[in-house]
Amino acid sequence: MPALRLDPDPRLHAQAEGERMHALLAELYPLGRSLTGRGLRATLQRLDAEAPLTIDEIASGTAVFDWTVPDEWTIDEAYLEHESGRRIVDYRAHTLHVVGYSRPVDRWLTLDELRPHLHSAPEHPDWIPYRTSYYKDDWGFCLAHRQYEQLPPGRYRALIRAALAPGSMSIGQCLLRGDMSEEVLVFAHTCHPSLANDNLSGLVVAIRLAAWLRQRATRLSYRFVFAPATIGSIAWLALHFSELHRVRHGLVLSLLGDRGPLNYKRTRFGQAAIDRAATQVLQRQHPGGRIIDFSPWGYDERQFGSPGIALPVGRLTRTPNGEFPEYHTSADNPDFVTAASLGESWLACLRIVHRLEHDLRYRNLRPYGEPQLGRRGLYRSTGGYQGIPDQQMAMLWLLNQSDGGTSLIEIAERSGLSFDSLCRAADDLVRAGLLAAETGTS
Ligand code: ZN
């Protein structure tokens, strides 16, 4: 297997990946995902075809830290029909039409009796909003506000043929073993039905990153987790608690397909290696976005960053949740996300991984003054690196900072030099016997 290096023209590769990810996203879009159930399992099965997953099925009623795994929700059919026989909404037309985790119902109601069970978004009258009722015994339909306003008087039949019964919650995992047991955790949530950016974009970028990495030799191990938001990440953490010490870096992936710039949200630690790696990649190679400080809100980074777990897990998104009007509506569809954005997000992940892979600490083996580079052919060798004028400076910075405790990412940060120049210079200096990588944990 080839060692982990980026392709000479990664952008070209990202473009092809972007097309592939968009096609996969469009294929997954109609599936009726939820915290549990058939749509979730079918999604994991499809992801498994890209990179093999192992599936944990966690039984309903299982206590996971402060939470309990819910009953399994299975929906077969759902519609709202006027007494005239006209069908107002149908789950088959759009999974967002039914409030997630609705309990079964088959009743005739007047319009006034029906209204408390209907959800629409007046501010965007053509879009269907996304609603769930996971922990409250309820049922409901969602529809475009324009349609809601035109509902004729009369009686309506509300039918939701669904089952809420003990079953299990499915979580998919892909573990890729590298030379070291230390892991990079990549998490994407799986519980949203027909919504594209939130969070099919995270699923497709994560699984294609796994597919790419599994073809290559890596220093670190990689663990991709596909689980429902909140209850899923908490259940996964509870189930795999004894393995968490291996996780050294983590990323939550979501909202990676819209046209906005890439943003990174820091871990609760703020200055972890993943924070530094992602900041460098975004600032130098994918500029225009923001580096956002940690807050205990958003996606599952807050579970990974809770005090009893305390893993350095940051989050990569394009436009953050709640900052685009299409969020949690039917307008977040495959047309809202682009192959180019997905491809760029994938490439940014790869560049972050590249930094983590090469983020070694070196020791200068000739630390008394500056070693004589010319005698070793290293002074002239700068001429051989056309287009990398940093190369000489990279050697000097490396020799100066390599005290065994400073990592390559930290040297890149302090020197302002490109990470690739430092990688190449480190290779040259190791070959010349001037530098040695420290072994042990990163
Ligand atoms: Zn969401």
The answer to whether the CB of 244 falls within 8 A of the CB of 382 is: no
CA of 195 to the centre of ligand 1 (A): 8
pLDDT (tens digit, 9 = 90+) per residue, 246-269?
A: 999 999 999 999 999 999 999 999
The C-alpha angle 224, 230, 232, rounded to 5 degrees, equals: 50
CA of 143 to the centre of ligand 1 (A): 18
CA of 386 to the centre of ligand 1 (A): 47
CA of 439 to the centre of ligand 1 (A): 41
| E strand spans, 120-167 | 141-142, 155-165
- For residue 330, give the amino acid letter: S
CA of 328 to the centre of ligand 1 (A): 6
CA of 189 to the centre of ligand 1 (A): 9
CA of 216 to the centre of ligand 1 (A): 32
Q: Kindly report whether the peptide bond that precedes residue 199 is cis, defined as omega within 30 degrees of 0.
A: yes
CA of 375 to the centre of ligand 1 (A): 60
Q: How many CA atoms lie within 13 A of 82 on its CB side?
A: 12
Q: Kindly report whether the peptide bond that precedes residue 321 is cis, defined as omega within 30 degrees of 0.
A: no
CA of 131 to the centre of ligand 1 (A): 10
CA of 381 to the centre of ligand 1 (A): 52
pLDDT (tens digit, 9 = 90+) per residue, 302-360?
A: 999 999 999 999 999 999 988 999 999 999 999 999 999 999 999 999 999 999 999 99
CA of 361 to the centre of ligand 1 (A): 39
Collapse the DSSP code of 327 into the 3-class scheme (helix H, G, I; strand E, B; otherwise coil) and give the result.
coil
What pLDDT, on a 0 to 100 scale, did the predictor assign at position 117? Answer: 98
CA of 199 to the centre of ligand 1 (A): 7
Q: How far apart are alpha carbons 214 and 47 in whole angstroms?
A: 14
CA of 198 to the centre of ligand 1 (A): 5
CA of 73 to the centre of ligand 1 (A): 18
CA of 134 to the centre of ligand 1 (A): 14
How much helix, strand and coil, in percent to the nearest 5, is found in the chain? 35, 25, 40
- For residue 356, give the amino acid letter: L
* Domains of the chain by start residue, with CATH: 11-69+169-356 (3.40.630.10), 72-165 (3.50.30.90), 361-437 (1.10.10.10)
Q: Can you give the pTM of this predicted structure?
A: 0.95
pLDDT (tens digit, 9 = 90+) per residue, 147-204?
A: 999 999 999 999 999 999 999 999 999 999 999 999 999 999 999 999 999 999 999 9
Q: How far apart are alpha carbons 226 and 55 in whole angstroms?
A: 9
pLDDT (tens digit, 9 = 90+) per residue, 203-253?
A: 999 999 999 999 999 999 999 999 999 999 999 999 999 999 999 999 999
DSSP class of 217: B
CA of 338 to the centre of ligand 1 (A): 19
